[in-house]
């Protein structure tokens, strides 16, 4: 059984007149609503305009403040210099953050990833021209040496785990002869105390210091996923 309302056409003069009166009343109410709304908007437009202007000024201020902050950060990083004495006074975590900042200074988009399960990558940087770099940071006491095992670990994960174009071991100490020789043979770059001075204190960009080539499709570190 179907139920529901269904409109029908008015029948007879009385119903037609009633329908017309109702329609006229609805139209008058609608017209009054429009008039009242328009009047309220006309009265309130100065306040609305003021609020809109204040909102625009606040948004512009926030944008200019963010731009100024980025410029200050960029200028600070561009002038970043870190001495060997400052490196020696750092702990492992601060050392990794410092290397990240130096990469950013040199034009890399870098992030610190060091920690448990980092797969021999403490800092990873990306460059529009030179591709991706993996940095293994080894902070040691003065006179400490980094051995070949670190080179093996970096070589083993730079491509398969991180898809890197370049890998480098950085220490504030030194490396054993075997470690340096093995790295040179297997394209694992290394930065010892003297190179670190040139990079951090003198301001030489890392890619210039290590003569890192531009990224190529046949990177010796990358492997198919």
pLDDT in tens, 106-153: 999 999 997 767 788 999 999 999 999 999 999 998 778 999 999 999
Length of the chain: 225
What's residue 197's pLDDT? 97
Give the residue, 200 or 50, on which the prediction is more confident. Answer: 200
What's residue 225's pLDDT? 36
Mean pLDDT of 73-100: 87
Give the residue, 182 or 4, on which the prediction is more confident. Answer: 182
Mean pLDDT of 162-167: 95
pLDDT at 73 over 90: no
Query: For residues 43-80, b (16+ Cβ closer than 10 Å) or e, as one string?
Result: eeeeeeeeeeeeeeeeeeeeeeeeeeeeeeeeeeeeee
Cβ pair 135, 125 in contact under 8 A: yes
What's residue 8's pLDDT? 62
Q: Which fold has domain 84-209?
A: Trna Endonuclease; Chain: A, domain 1 (3.40.1350)
Dist. CA 60–CA 49, nearest whole Å: 16
Cβ pair 146, 175 in contact under 8 A: yes
pLDDT at 82 over 50: yes
Percent of the chain with pLDDT over 70: 78
pLDDT at 5 over 70: no
Highest mean pLDDT among 113-122, 162-171, 207-216: 162-171
pLDDT at 42 over 80: no
Looking at every residue in the chain, the average pLDDT score rounds to 84
Q: Could you tell me the pTM of the whole model? A: 0.65
How does DSSP assign 28-57, residue by residue? HHHHHHHHHHHHHHHHHHHHHHHHHHHHHH
């Amino acid at each position: 059984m179907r139920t529901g309302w269904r409109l029908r056409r008015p029948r007879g003069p009385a119903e037609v007149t009633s329908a017309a009166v109702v329609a006229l009343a609805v139209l008058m109410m609608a017209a009054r609503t429009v008039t009242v709304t328009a009047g309220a908007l006309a009265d309130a437009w100065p306040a609305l305009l003021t609020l809109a202007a204040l909102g625009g000024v606040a948004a512009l201020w926030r944008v200019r403040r963010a731009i100024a902050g980025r410029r200050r950060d960029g200028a600070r990083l561009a002038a970043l210099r870190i001495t060997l004495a400052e490196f020696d006074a750092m702990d492992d975590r601060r050392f990794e953050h410092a290397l990240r900042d130096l990469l950013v200074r040199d034009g890399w988009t870098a992030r610190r990833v060091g920690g448990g399960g980092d797969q021999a990558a403490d800092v990873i940087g990306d460059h529009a021209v030179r591709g991706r770099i993996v940095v293994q940071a080894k902070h040691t006491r003065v006179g400490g040496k980094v051995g070949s095992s670190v080179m093996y670990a970096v070589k083993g994960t730079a491509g398969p785990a991180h898809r890197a174009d370049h890998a480098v071991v950085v220490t504030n100490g030194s490396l054993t002869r075997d470690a340096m020789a093995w790295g040179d043979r297997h394209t694992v770059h290394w930065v010892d105390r003297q190179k670190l001075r040139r990079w951090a204190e003198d301001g030489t960009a890392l890619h210039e210091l290590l003569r890192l080539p531009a990224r190529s499709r046949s990177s010796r570190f990358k492997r198919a996923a």
